[in-house]
Structure 1
Amino acid sequence: MVLKYEQIIVAVDGSKESKWAFKKAVGIAKRNNAVLNLVNIIDTRSYAAVEAYDRSIAERAHKYAEELLTEYKQEAEATGLEKVNILVEYGSPKTMISRDLSKRLVADLIICGATGLNTVERFLIGSVSENIVRSATCDVLVVRTPEDEV
């Protein structure tokens, strides 16, 4: 039996670990001729208090996410990968990635970095990657090393 991935989600947030996850996801998607879904979740809980004073913060976060994903999409396509989607979503990354998006996209693999940008949240309530591993119904690859490290 040969395991072949068809729908891959890679969660990126601008951290170096998510960049490593992206690089490894591109390689896996190419080897499997899979669809690569580049995802950034804008955590609405982080902006709730700040938005009372600055309404443009959500717009700036969305613009940053789109620019980041567009850059990653171009990089993936430059390697010869043909099926690349970008998704910017709002909500809790912990539930959006492993439950909502994985079901909607019928994902068979989720790839994420071992750590991300939000150290305070990780300390207080656990990491996004930890939650994905616990709650996903498909395979999960948590990336801890750069692409070129063995």
Structure 2
Amino acid sequence: MIKMYQKILVAVDGSVQSEQALDKAIKLAKLHDASLTLAHVIDLRNFSTQEFTPQSLYDDAEKKATKMLEEYEEKARRGGIKEVQIVLKSGNPRTQLSGKLLTENNIDLLMTGSTGRNAFERMLIGSVAEACVRHAPCDVVTVKDGV
């Protein structure tokens, strides 16, 4: 079999859809003997409604994200993935996940849940998955809930 993918990045946010994307990414990485990068972007726009964001709020978000990534890393290793990397960034997930993280890590496949936001937010600003499909320099697989 030809190895199509060598470096897979899966975007995780703790949603059901991102966990389903993780499960499929683990299977695909094992099939292709690929490395797996688990990435989460702390969305700084969540803090922009306040004039002053206490450092403790950001620290709490970072702590929760780190714990989630470490749990997912362990899951990937239990699933037979030898090379697993975790990446935690802050900023706009749409721009980080549709370009910067992919090029910095030489990713050839991005996997993401099809949704993670509520319907109103998607209508106003679009989804991270949509931005990735439009702008990513590599293949993108969006995983739908329950599929």
Name the TM-score, length of structure 1 as normaliser.
Answer: 0.91
1:8-31 CA-partner distances (Å, limit 9, x unpaired): 110000100000000000000001
Which residue of structure 2 aligns with residue 9 of structure 1? 9
1:50 to partner: Cα distance: 3.6
Could you tell me the percent identity over the aligned residues? 40
User: Cα RMSD over matched residues?
Assistant: 1.7
1:96-120 CA-partner distances (Å, limit 9, x unpaired): 0111000001110000000004544
Which residue of structure 2 aligns with residue 24 of structure 1? 24
State the alpha-carbon separation in 1 of the partners of residues 47 and 124 from structure 2: 17
Name the TM-score, length of structure 2 as normaliser.
Answer: 0.93
Letter in 2 for 1:17: Q
Runs of 4+ in structure 1 over 4 Å off? none
Return 5+ residue gaps in structure 1 as ranges: none
User: Any idea what SS the aligned residue of 2:49 has?
Assistant: helix
Q: How many residues align?
A: 147
Return 5+ residue gaps in structure 2 as ranges: none
1:84 to partner: Cα distance: 0.5
User: Any idea what SS the aligned residue of 1:116 has?
Assistant: coil
Letter in 2 for 1:132: C
Is contact 1:38-1:84 (8 Å) kept?
A: yes
Is contact 1:13-1:117 (8 Å) kept?
A: no
Distance 1:53 1:140, change over 3 A: closer
Is contact 1:41-1:96 (8 Å) kept?
A: yes
Deviates more, 1:16-25 or 1:42-51: 42-51
> How do residues 1-150 of structure 1 correspond to structure 2 at under 5 angstroms?
2-50=2-50, 52=52, 54-117=54-117, 119-146=119-146, 149=147
State the alpha-carbon separation in 2 of the partners of residues 3 and 139 from structure 1: 14
Letter in 2 for 1:134: R
Letter in 1 for 2:14: G
1:41 to partner: Cα distance: 0.3
